[in-house]
Amino acid sequence: GSAPVEGARKVGVLLDWMELLALRTATSRVRPCTESYRIALSAWVWSHHVDAPKEAEGILFRMIRACDANNGVGSKDGVVVDDTTTAAKAAGRAISGPVRPETRDFNTLINCCSFARKVGTDASEEDDDSLLQRQVAHREIFDIAEGALNALLASEYAQPDPTTFS
């Protein structure tokens, strides 16, 4: 693959390892922080890969879950009880250092969707199948952007700003 895509994958693997190490021991000093998630998010966005919106969405929502876990949202007696199927849920402890998504993180994902490149199939193909593939791909990207906007609107710690709607 291209260098930016390989870099994004490596950053994602590093974030996975940071979360895993934090789960293995309560005293681990290796814990992802806001910047850890932000770097992984940006790496996918700047890769301009067709899967960038989907990958960036996953990272943003991991960031949100880490923030919620650190703040006791969705927990009962210190055990995470939300509907996510993460190792943090099973372990009942936070997997990250201080994590707090900001408006700019939501905007990053929304902008990634707005400027997604090479989506669907080659535009020069005019058959019905290729048109349908492009429409499905664009719908998926729209759904990701809409999900990010809805999460931002529901957020207790971030609010839309003029950039969100530009």
HSE-CB at 165 with a 13 A cutoff on CA atoms is: 5
Q: Which residue has the tokens 């923030």?
A: 67
Residue 26 pLDDT level (bands cut at 50, 70, 90)? confident
Which residues are within 8 A (CB) of 118 and not within 5 positions of it... i.e. 6 or more apart? 48, 50
For 106-128, give one letter per residue: b (16+ CB within 10 A) or e. bbbbbbbbeebeebbeeeeeeee
Which residues are within 8 A (CB) of 152 and not within 5 positions of it... i.e. 6 or more apart? 103, 106, 158, 159, 160, 164
Question: pLDDT, tens digit, for every residue of 70-94?
Answer: 776 653 333 333 333 344 444 444 5
| Cα angle value 99/104/109 (rounded, 5°) | 95
* pLDDT of the residue at 69: 84
* pLDDT of the residue at 15: 96
76 SS3 class? strand
* pLDDT of the residue at 8: 96
Across 136-161, average pLDDT? 94
Q: Which residue has the tokens 């949100």?
A: 64
By the 8 A CB rule, do 8 and 49 touch? yes
Give the whole-number percent of the chain exceeding pLDDT 70: 78
Alpha-carbon span 58 to 52, nearest angstrom: 10
